[in-house]
Structure 1
Amino acid sequence: MASLTAAECEVWARELSFAQSVADHDAVAFASHIAPEAAFGASLAEPLRGRDEIARSWAPLVEGKRVKLVWYPTRTTIAGDSDVAWSSGPALFENPDPQASQRYRLGAFHSVWRRGDDGVWRVMFDDGVEPRPATEEQVAAFHAGRKTRCPRG
């Protein structure tokens, strides 16, 4: 894995914090990671627009009763503008019903972050790769691949 800069590690940590807000079912923390003018499902013809609409639409996922969502970054990148970053990684969707015919699905996410005037990174654009059914082995590999420490150079 390539090493990341200090600023890229800030985004890495923020992405982990964003995912943790969902794991903790904390709607307030979740919304605090989203820029007021954000667009989620950015590649769709009708993306979700604005923090309030995104938070409202994502409320069932944050609640985690019907679907549990877990993700983590595997890469963050900052190019010319030091206040804009890209992050990506895998995403695991779990149906918590033990009787579910398809319990796990694996996908991926891609997010664009912007550092605000207050120095806080917030998601501007978010999108993902449609999840596909996953085996127990793939789920184990997903969990084994999670790094909580940024690969800083």
Structure 2
Amino acid sequence: MRRVAVVVAACLAGLSGFAFAEEAAKPAAAAAAPPQLSADECAVWARELGFARALAEHDAAGFAAFLHPQAAFGAGRPQPTRGREAIAAEWAGLIAGKGLRLRWYPQRVTIGGVGDVAWSTGPALYQRLEPGAQPRYLIGQYQSVWHRDGDGVWRILFDDGIAPRPATEAEAMAFERGRREDCPRR
């Protein structure tokens, strides 16, 4: 899960013992047939990639701009983080990129029947940056719900995912190979 504050805090603190969910995320291997997405779904795909890029570029203002003002991160937790400012504050360490590098990309995007709600999911790769850190890589899966606001811009409304598990170097490389910038259009 790309938004698990406890795991992120543990990684940033350099703790060696992690508790991971028994449900392990699947490796980033691409499915046999890529999804065929609509133009609107591809717009969400592009927004998801832009959101990940804002984090990778340590752009706190850009990161916050992707969040709905009343977003809820860790939506499946008993106490999710609520609101753009609170989420941005919780993510400040990840955005700074000092102890942990997080990358993700979409593999699926689906628009709901009303046309202004979308769901996206894909793998998330954490890389601990401390020299000799073990495990070096963790892999999980994220799920986001996007809402197209009145201004026509897609923003994240809900976010959660599968807790990351230790990953091998080979799984980290498979994650990298699975990334695609181009949206698989219909």
TM-score (norm 2): 0.81
State the shift of 1:21 in Å.
0.4
1:110 matched residue in structure 2: 143
CA RMSD of aligned residues (A): 0.6
1:13 matched residue in structure 2: 46
Report the Cα distance in structure 2 between the residues aligned to 1:151 and 1:138, rounded to whole angstroms.
Answer: 23
Q: Give, as a single letter, the amino acid of the residue that structure 2 aligns with 1:104.
A: Y
Q: Give 1:24's match in structure 2, choosing from 57, 65, 69.
A: 57
Give the 5 Å matches for 1:53-132.
Answer: 53-132=86-165
Instruction: Give the fraction of aligned pairs with identical amino acids, expressed as a percent.
Output: 54
Could you tell me which runs of 5 or more consecutive residues in structure 1 were left unpaired when the two chains were aligned.
none
1:88 is paired with a residue of what secondary structure?
strand
Report the Cα distance in structure 2 between the residues aligned to 1:136 and 1:126, rounded to whole angstroms.
Answer: 27
User: How many residues are aligned here?
Assistant: 153
Report the Cα distance in structure 2 between the residues aligned to 1:33 and 1:42, rounded to whole angstroms.
Answer: 17
Moved >4 Å (runs of 4+): none
Q: Give, as a single letter, the amino acid of the residue that structure 1 aligns with 2:172.
A: V
1:33 pairs with 2:66: yes
Q: Deviations over 1:119-147 (max 9, x none)?
A: 10000000011000000100000000000
Taking CA–CA contacts closer than 8 Å with sequence separation of 6 or more, which of the two structures ends up with the larger relative contact order?
Answer: 2
State the shift of 1:115 in Å.
0.4
Q: Deviations over 1:33-69 (max 9, x none)?
A: 0000000000000000000000000110111101110
Q: Give, as a single letter, the amino acid of the residue that structure 1 aligns with 2:157.
A: M
Query: Which structure shows the bigger proportion of residues in strand conformation?
Result: 1
Q: Give 2:180's match in structure 1, choosing from 144, 147, 152.
A: 147
Q: Deviations over 1:87-123 (max 9, x none)?
A: 0000000001131121100001000000011110000
State the shift of 1:79 in Å.
2.2
2:129 is paired with a residue of what secondary structure?
coil
Could you tell me which runs of 5 or more consecutive residues in structure 2 were left unpaired when the two chains were aligned.
1-33
